């Protein structure tokens, strides 16, 4: 899973990156949320959140 953040609105989205994460369906709502957010807010800047190890 990767986390993405809209720098303008400070929203965080989780995106599946492995087959298991995608098939589980747990993150489908976040995928729909980020797609809708980008469609409504064309000028937003989306960046990956660096995860701490």
pTM (2 d.p.): 0.76
- 3 state SS of 28: helix
Per the CB < 8 A criterion, the answer to whether 2 and 48 are in contact is yes
Per the CB < 8 A criterion, the answer to whether 35 and 27 are in contact is no
pLDDT, tens digit, 9 for 90 and up, residues 1-37: 999 999 999 999 999 999 999 899 889 899 999 999 9
């Amino acid at each position: 899973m990767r986390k993405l953040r809209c720098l303008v609105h400070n929203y965080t989205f989780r995106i599946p990156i492995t087959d298991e994460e995608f098939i589980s369906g747990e993150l489908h709502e976040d995928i729909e949320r980020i797609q809708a957010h980008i469609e409504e807010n064309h000028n937003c800047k989306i960046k990956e959140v660096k995860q701490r190890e």
